[in-house]
Chain A
Amino acid sequence: MQARPNTSGADTAFHATLVLAGLGVVTVLAGVAWELLSLSGEALSKGGIGFITGMTWDPVAEEFGALPALYGTLVTSALALLIAVPLGIGSAVFMSEIASSRVATVVGVLVDLLAAIPSVIYGLWGLFVLAPLLREHVQPGVQKLFGELPLFAGPPLGVGYGTAGLLLAIMVIPVITAVSREVLRAVPDTQREAAYALGATPFEVIRGTVFPYARSGLVGAVVLGLGRALGETMAVTMVIGNRYDISASLFAPGYTLAAVIANEFTEAFSPHYLSALAGLGVVLLGTTLILNAAARLLVRGVRHGGAG
């Protein structure tokens, strides 16, 4: 009885500590956003919408436009998803619907390993294995096959949008696979059993019952993968070619937002230059934030829906 007031005091202090830690997380995110916005204020207010639509990145004339880097980021990410979505969801289907639980576990562990490889190692492999392979064997072959199609124009350099997109695909597949697998697992077995009872084949069960049920969650998985592709820095920097331009050809060198920052952040020699780089960070962060928040909400919606 005597201990009562003490206890509740300790309880309050304990709870306050937890709240404080929670607020710490909020503060860090707010700090990141604030720091970037204040750094980039000059470039964004000076350039306005022209900062985003500008084509030139000229530190000499202090003319800064983000469009080529934004374009590179979006093109490589889209390309990555084009490859990664069917393969990632396909693998998730394999694990949750077709494979025995032992096989599914092994594949799951391997996919998780793929997700854990540091991106600089992907870059190393991309630079020394993937790029030469594409330059020597794949790109000349594709050009022979499709001739003068603008999509494959230009000398086969081995680095560029296509290589970066392919490497990004390899990097986002594990994200998409892992989240899709969870989403598919959350689909209640009763749904599947009902469809099987009606005589449906596994394909029909998955297409007609599992996918519609899991749709928003799968979208979430894809958007999460997109988030990783957009922000990926090191691997892309090593294989994108670092050319500040917009080109329709997948074989052409390009640039991405994150790669520009990585290459130029320590060297920006004027405040305006620095501000422009922070502006690229804002564009990148803005795109990533919107997509991530959307993805998390979608996935959570499915999880709760699945439980109910």
Chain B
Amino acid sequence: MKTTMNGFGITVVAIAMVMLAVPGMASAQNLTGAGATFQYPLQSKWSSEYGKAHPEVRVNYQSIGSGGGIRQITARTVQFGATDGPMSNEQLAEAKDPILHVPVTLGAVAVAVNLPEVTKTLDLTGVVLADIFLGKITRWNDPAISATNKGVVLPDRAIAVAHRSDGSGTTYIFVDYLAKVSPEWKNKVGVATSVNWPVGLGAKGNEGVAGTVKQTPGAIGYVELTYALQSGIPTARVQNPAGEFVAPSVDAVTKAAAGAAANLPEDLRVSITNAPGAGAYPISGFSWVLMYLQQQDCSIASALVKYLWWGVHEGQAFSTPLHYAPLPASVVSRCEAKLKSVTCNGSPVL
């Protein structure tokens, strides 16, 4: 009996020693960020690349959804939040201290479709998309869908709508678009990072929706383009105000952003869904990092501002390979101004 107790004790001590022996990184500056799953692939790439050049800074980004990013920055449990749906005025008021929206990337929300029978790319209008998500169109061979897909044999299969179960900026961009093209959507459901869905299956995160669509034949869902491409799910082309059916791509997002970049509002909160212009993809949006203008811990503030500075400059090189659109130069200079305005205990950080 005694030997067992000793054995147990030794095991505990051994594990404790292994843990202490792990190369201590006590001197590293840890930054915790959380929020949009939309940014997650980019942030995880940034964290890894920035860490190579600056091993003293470790950026831990958890993709918990834009709603979570807003909530956790408001509760100050993270050093930066991230969202694809800008904070509302009420939300900003609730945070008490001023919060900056720093755009870090642009992306497309792709409409992912799992129809094993169909190999051709589907063309969908905004209204049809809204009606599917309203539950008014329930089968794939509905005349409204075939109207824009001449020559495609659509199966008599039930549509399984997949949406986010968590608060999400991807949702924000998507429903912001639906509300612009469908008055019924605007009145019945509205626009927010999480809404009361009329139909469908909920899944957590872009990962979850992409996973659900991939797992469920007949499913349609909306995911950030990277997730659709990396998981190999076909996406639909969506009609823009110019009447063209546009596939989601970096190029088409850049075209949508081009118009908006010229007249950005002061606080950089802007919607670019249903943007005019030839070739513009209609379900596009900015993704922002959220941080406090007045920082309290100067070593954190310095590390954070430098990381974001790196992100809006060098970090943009990683956008295109991950299917994000790099920030237009005019937006980058606005970001610079924002980052330079950050103060710590009264004095500028940069």
Contact = CB atoms under 8 A, between A and B. Distances in A.
Interface in B116-161: 158, 160
Interface in B22-61: 34
A283 interface: no
Given A158-B216, A243-B200, A243-B201, A269 B166 contact: no
Interface in B164-223: 165-167, 189-197, 200-204, 215-216, 218
Nearest to B67: A267
B190 A60 contact: yes
Contact of A267 (B158, B194, B196): B194
A135 B66 CA distance: 32
Interface string A128-154: 000110010000000000000000001
A122 interface: no
B67 A159 contact: no
A179 to B, nearest CB: 28
B64 interface: yes
B65 interface: yes
A132 B194 CA distance: 28
B70 interface: yes
A161 interface: no
A131 B197 contact: no
B201 A269 contact: no
Interface in A46-60: 56-60
A244 B194 contact: no
Contacts of A158: 215-216
B71 A267 contact: yes
A3 interface: no
Contacts of B204: 237, 242, 263
Contacts, number: 94
A57 B196 contact: yes
Given A264-B167, A266-B71, A269-B91, A155 B218 contact: yes
B216 A266 contact: no
A134 to B, nearest CB: 12
Nearest to B88: A269
Contact of A155 (B158, B191, B203): B158
B215 A269 contact: no
* Chain A interface extent, by class: 20 to 34
A270 interface: yes
B44 to A, nearest CB: 18
Q: For chain A, what secondary structure do more than half of its interface residues adopt (helix, strand, loop), or is it mixed?
A: loop
B70 A242 contact: no
B81 to A, nearest CB: 11
Contact of B165 (A135, A154, A155, A263): A263
Contacts of A165: none
A261 to B, nearest CB: 12
A279 interface: no
A58 B175 CA distance: 14
Nearest to B158: A155
B258 to A, nearest CB: 31
Contacts of B193: 267, 269
A132 B215 contact: yes
A159 B167 contact: no
B167 A59 contact: yes
Given A242-B203, A263-B204, A269-B91, A59 B195 contact: yes
A242 B194 CA distance: 13
A77 to B, nearest CB: 20
B197 A244 contact: yes
Contacts of B74: 269
A57 B197 CA distance: 9
Contact of A253 (B68, B158, B201, B218): B201
B165 A242 contact: yes
A264 B192 CA distance: 14
A114 to B, nearest CB: 25
B267 interface: no
B287 interface: no
A131 B219 CA distance: 15
Given A155-B218, A157-B216, A158-B216, A267 B68 contact: yes
B15 to A, nearest CB: 19
B72 interface: yes
A127 B215 CA distance: 9
Contacts of A264: 67, 165-167, 194
Contacts of A131: 215
A167 B203 CA distance: 18
B314 interface: no
A61 B190 contact: yes
A241 interface: yes
**Most A-side CB within 10 Å, residue of B90, B167, B218:** B167
26 contacts: A59-B194, A59-B195, A60-B189, A155-B158, A159-B201, A242-B202, A242-B203, A243-B197, A244-B196, A244-B197, A253-B202, A255-B202, A263-B165, A263-B166, A266-B64, A267-B65, A267-B66, A267-B70, A267-B71, A267-B167, A268-B71, A269-B74, A269-B167, A270-B91, A270-B94, A271-B94
Interface of B: 34, 64-68, 70-72, 74, 90-91, 94, 158, 160, 165-167, 189-197, 200-204, 215-216, 218
Top 7 nearest A-B pairs by Cβ distance? A242-B202, A267-B67, A267-B167, A155-B158, A58-B196, A267-B68, A242-B165
